[in-house]
Amino acid sequence: MNLTAQDEIAVYVEGVRLALAGLPPATRDELLEDLPEHLAEVLAEGGGSLTDRLGPPEAYAAELSASAGFAAGGQPTSRYAAVTDRAARHRARINQAVRGADVRVGPLLGYAKASEFLVLLRPAWWVLRGYLAAMAVAFMFDGNSRLGLMPRLGGDDFAAVLLLALGILGSIWLGRRGTPTRKWPRRAFRLATVYLVLFALIGFFEVDSAAQRDGYSEVGYTGWNEFTDVRDVYAYDGDGRLVSGVQLYDQDGNPIRLGEPYCEDPTSGMSVPSRTLGYPHCPEAAPYHPGDPSAVTPPPDASTPGSPAPSAPEASPSGAAPAADSSSKPPAPSSSARPPAAKEPARVG
């Protein structure tokens, strides 16, 4: 900014200050706090001098005075003006403390004031503000309590990109216009900024917390299917023995969760958490127990329909019994399936 522009801003601010001489000092200081910055933005937009754009300092001061609840002569226009004046005094003390901190922190950043460094970050803040605004809109209207990296509405990627672009462009447009000069629009603008900052902090911790959780993606079942009523899983080996501590996974290594890890206490009849790892959750409620013949798959029997019948031994031409194969000894048949003994032929003497 050249020296002529600085002089014009200083003259205009001083004219407004003189026109507000009848107001309480705290109220006057609050109204003039952001005025130089706003006037610099007005000059940067072009289109004439400050008087051409905003009118004479006296008229501009009258608007500021009316927005604060005071008449042109400094008299309160309502009974709440005294309360407003006391609040203005408190805000003036807070602003003074902030200005002091601004001067003390500035040298640490290499500037006379920290605000000079923050001015350089304005374009980055405009982009970030638009992103946060798009995320907040998606969070409020999508009904999804989980935060992601894109402002999705209904899970649509195109809508997410469109909403993000509108948010960023709208934020840059507001940043180019500057802070509103009127009281209530300025307060609404600042409250919206505070809301976005809080939303960003909460969202940051939410995303960080989700990243710290384990990476298991459970295989779930929605609606009714054959697994809807499954409360526990019991695995048996080939001999009918119950296997404990069984873990189920799908082809991608994701754990399969069926049922609930709760067992019914036979004494109280209440559901208590299971103390076992894996399946079954409640071993004592197994449908089959070791030794139960119904839990063992019976071996194929010769009497079973459809099984091949054993071939009869072939007799040798000499009439002698065939020699037994020492390398293969078939198991002895059970008494129920044992064929009747053949009669020995009579010997001819």
What string of DSSP letters covers 179-195? S-SSHHHHHHHHHHHHH
pTM of the model: 0.42
Residue partners of 305: CB distance under 8 A and separation at least 6: none
pLDDT on residue 89 = 62
pLDDT on residue 349 = 37
pLDDT in tens, 132-171: 999 999 888 876 556 678 888 777 888 889 999 999 999 9
Checking phi first, is residue 65 left (phi over 0); if not, alpha (psi -120 to 50) or beta?
alpha
Torsion angles phi and psi, residue 249, rounded to 5: -135, 155
pLDDT on residue 300 = 54
Give the tokens for residue 15: 């004219």
pLDDT tens for the chain, residues 1 to 349? 455 777 888 888 888 888 888 777 777 877 787 788 888 877 777 667 888 877 888 888 888 777 666 654 445 444 445 555 566 566 667 777 887 888 889 899 898 888 888 888 999 999 999 999 999 998 888 765 566 788 887 778 888 899 999 999 999 998 888 777 676 887 888 899 999 999 999 888 888 877 776 554 554 545 566 677 788 888 888 877 888 888 888 888 888 888 778 888 877 778 888 878 788 888 888 887 766 555 545 555 544 454 454 554 444 444 444 444 444 444 444 444 444 444 444 444 3
For residue 256, the SS3 value is strand
pLDDT on residue 176 = 86
Task: Give the residues across from 249 on adjacent strands.
Answer: 255
Helix (H) or strand (E) holding 94: helix 81-109
CB 254 within 8 A of CB 216: yes
Rounded to 10°, the helix 3-19/57-67 angle is: 50
pLDDT in tens, 291-342: 655 554 555 554 445 445 455 444 444 444 444 444 444 444 444 444 444 4
